[in-house]
Structure 1
Amino acid sequence: MTDRRVLGLDFGTTNTVAATADALIPLDGAADGVFRTALCFWHDEDVRGGLAVEAGPAAIREYLEFPSDSRFIQSFKSVAASASFDTAPVFEKRYRFEDLGRLFLDKLRSHAAGALDRLDRVVVGRPVTYAGSRPDEAIARQRYDAMFAGFARDVHYVYEPLAAAYGFAAQLEQPATLLVADFGGGTSDFSVVRVDAPGAAQRCTPMGHAGIGLAGDRFDARIVDKLVLPFLGKGGDYRSFDKVLEIPPGYFADVADWSKLALMRNRRTLAELDRLKKSALDPEAIGRMIALIDNELGFPLYDAVSKLKRALTTGKGAHFAFHGAGVDIEADVTRAEFEGWIADDVQRIAATLDRALATAGVDDGRIDRIFLTGGTSLVPAVRRLFTDRFGAERIVSGGELTSIAHGLALIAGEDDVTAWTAS
């Protein structure tokens, strides 16, 4: 692929990274090329259509400057395979998934100083299993195709852990059976790859894959559920005629889901919540939920949850603090408490690991190396899945936010990428 412009693009739930075979693509305001997968909209009379948009770090800056007059959307990759998702309401307009995706890619390109212009080939990462309760791969593929149409002359999709395996294989000097575990924001994915000795015609041979649509964002939701939602009315009741009924759980599930929280700020939802407030036995709690949504406080809530999670990754305990819209929450949380909240999720991840090994036809003893990647791989409870099972000596990690993009770029440089592409 000499003299051709090829790129690996890790379009992630939380972050997006672009790379060539040699280096990460520098992006304005993005530390080490890690670009937040987020959009911010606001009214601007000087912009065609009257609605301006930014992405990544610039989106965060715009939101922080005018939070009440903007719409901040993050984790929208999580709805790629959702048949129930139609459009996202943003002020007076509605956007399909592919509309949001194209806006994001346009802004990504504008922050790359020409490095993403006139591309010949792009290899894009995709999860083994998409996020959501009943993900539809056909819908996700249609939306991805529409999103990336025109981004490059030639676009291919590769399983994200497979890309990480390809990149890591370049470090191996001996044949090995490699297990790659990729833990991102929306999904936890596994690939088993046979790596042949250097000089082999095809060094890497995929053996099996498995994935599940839960990862870091689900852990965040557990924190919100335990520490925030009780203040917003979860578990409370409302009066309907002569009956007292539990408040429907759907509102609380949406507050705890980063891909849905921002979309709750629409007339219909706010009107429903206002009616609920009038009939709730604790109207002040519902009022706090309305204020949180109406004041566009999804990002500061996400930031508070992320700080707690990072602190519990390195320490045995941490302090949670969130203040805004009349919701003032402070709590000390131990790592043991957090691990109790996510225990069921970790068990489901472990079952998915079992499925990946079974699909590949290998047992634990045949795995020579385990490569852990993705930000959620740093969570101690997740890491113990591998140290307890395989032993710390077989585990390697690093480049948690960049290894997939690097592997995708190396695959993009191959003359024939079809051995790696996913449907």
Structure 2
Amino acid sequence: MAPKSCGVDFGTSNSTVGWSRPGQPALLPLEDGKLTLPSVVFFHAEDFEASYGRAALADYLGGHEGRLMRSLKSLLGTSMIDESTELMGQAIPFRRLLEQFIAQLKLRAEQAAGRSFTRAVMGRPVFFVDDDAAADKRAQDTLGEIARAVGFQEVAFQFEPIAAAFDYESQINREELVLVVDIGGGTSDFSLVRLSPARALKSDRREDILASGGVHIGGTDFDKYLSLSSVMPLLGLGSLLLSGRQMPSAPYFNLATWHTINFAYTRKAWPEIQDMHRQAMEKDKLERLMNLVRQRSGHWLALQVEAAKIALSESDTTQIDLGRIQPGHSFTLSRETFDGSIAHLVADIERTVNQLIRSAGVPATGIDTVFFTGGSSSVPLLRQRIAALLPDARRVEGDLFGSIGAGLALDARRKFA
């Protein structure tokens, strides 16, 4: 009998499920043959039915009436997880929204595999919450409760960078000391691990893990600060009121942050934005903001910013189209602007890596390989800083969206064998 265990990488931006079988690819197709399911839910206003992943984004961008939810993982470890949000006049607990999405992951994986899964190794960041052990434990406990509620009878956890290390280990033929750099949608996680084909056979790998660390900074934070520095000023951020005071910033921060975009559409928010428009010195900018909120296009704008971030990882410039809120309007964005907007975040990541290497008591010259995974690990400024810390290390890029899920599948096979 093939094992009924799988690895579940519930990500801030994208999710995967892996099933480890000899000679077979680990990741299971979750949507139209694709191995990732974007961590997105769209609730249709007319019938309250939900769509998921790329279909959810297509429904939203296609103009269907309803509400888009993204970055639900970011709620774990916060007080919001025990609160509710209003969906078409109904109060829906955030915990239930996470449960619906993870249930969908399980269902799609089982359909692809042609069997049920009763055991799972769930991926988790090294820290759900920085510098708060109690909140971090609550986050893992909550995720475990949700996993059991959707039908997993046994649930274990593994740090996401360790899972990525296991995936890399399956591809090497000699021993290496590897720094895993996992920059996901919500967190940056790191592990320094001794890997080899012989070590892969051990059931207990604790002595091979020299250090693990992380910081609550990820791709959605890059999106946020790129938006705040380049797009939100076009909607009035940083402009002045007639009184000479600066424009209130709360609506802009909500619209720049994936999991708070819907706060800009509340009954309380709209009169405040109208008042900002009445008192604005640059009313044209506030008119763009009002158009955005009136059309509930905050997620559309965030997707434009995310696409620009991705493009600037490959090119020196890109265009951002604002035609939905001001017909015919677009502007050019440079990598230099992008680098400036995220420099403080990259500096925090760099400090975290430095501390991890020091805590392991290993000289930088002793690290053989830096293994990059996670969708945001391709950001050029980030790679440059990591390379400067470890100039002698070989740099390897894994499957940016699949290494963790594949490694979790390997870990599930070992844990539940």
Task: Say whether the fold is shared (TM-score over 0.5).
Answer: yes
**Contact 1:28–1:112 (CA under 8 A) maintained in structure 2:** no
Q: 1:263 to 1:107 in 2, by over 3 A?
A: farther
Aligned equivalent of 2:29: 26
What is the Cα deviation at residue 197 of structure 1? 5.1
**Contact 2:130–2:215 (CA under 8 A) maintained in structure 1:** no
1:11-410 correspondence runs (5 A): 11-21=10-20, 22=24, 23-29=26-32, 31=34, 33-45=35-47, 51-67=48-64, 69-83=65-79, 86-112=83-109, 114-115=111-112, 118-130=116-128, 136-150=135-149, 151-196=151-196, 198=198, 201-202=202-203, 204=205, 205-238=208-241, 244-326=244-326, 329-391=329-391, 394-410=394-410
**Contact 1:181–1:188 (CA under 8 A) maintained in structure 2:** yes
SS at match of 1:114: helix
Question: Unaligned stretches of 5+ in structure 2?
Answer: none
* Aligned-partner Cα distance in 2 for 1:138–1:91: 33
* Aligned-partner Cα distance in 2 for 1:14–1:317: 24
SS at match of 1:16: strand
What is the Cα deviation at residue 78 of structure 1? 1.5
Q: 1:153 to 1:110 in 2, by over 3 A?
A: closer
What is the Cα deviation at residue 340 of structure 1? 1.9
Please tell me the residue identity of whatever aligns with 1:73: M
Please tell me the residue identity of whatever aligns with 2:121: V
Question: Unaligned stretches of 5+ in structure 1?
Answer: 46-50, 418-423
* Aligned-partner Cα distance in 1 for 2:318–2:260: 27
Q: 1:133 to 1:226 in 2, by over 3 A?
A: farther
* Aligned-partner Cα distance in 2 for 1:321–1:234: 18
Out of 319-328 and 215-224, give the one that drifted further: 319-328
SS at match of 1:324: coil
* Aligned-partner Cα distance in 2 for 1:231–1:238: 15
Q: 1:201 to 1:392 in 2, by over 3 A?
A: same
SS at match of 1:267: coil
**Contact 2:99–2:146 (CA under 8 A) maintained in structure 1:** yes
SS at match of 2:16: strand
Out of 383-392 and 57-66, give the one that drifted further: 383-392
What is the Cα deviation at residue 39 of structure 1? 0.5
Aligned equivalent of 1:421: none
SS at match of 1:313: coil
**Contact 2:30–2:112 (CA under 8 A) maintained in structure 1:** no
What is the Cα deviation at residue 131 of structure 1? 6.2
SS at match of 1:149: helix
Q: Give deviations 1:160-209, integer Å, cap 9, x for gaps.
A: 10100111112222222211010111111101112255265358422211
Aligned residues: 406
Out of 361-370 and 271-280, give the one that drifted further: 271-280
What root-mean-square deviation, in Å, do the aligned CA atoms of Structure 1 and Structure 2 show?
2.5
Q: Give deviations 1:312-371, integer Å, cap 9, x for gaps.
A: 212222222222233764222222232122111111110011122233232312212211
What is the Cα deviation at residue 114 of structure 1? 2.2
Q: 1:75 to 1:147 in 2, by over 3 A?
A: same
TM-score, with length taken from structure 2: 0.89
Q: Give deviations 1:236-294, integer Å, cap 9, x for gaps.
A: 3346xxx5532332221111101111342221222332333333344443343232123
SS at match of 2:158: strand
Please tell me the residue identity of whatever aligns with 2:46: D
What is the Cα deviation at residue 26 of structure 1? 1.2
* Aligned-partner Cα distance in 1 for 2:148–2:203: 30
SS at match of 1:124: strand
* Aligned-partner Cα distance in 2 for 1:154–1:203: 19
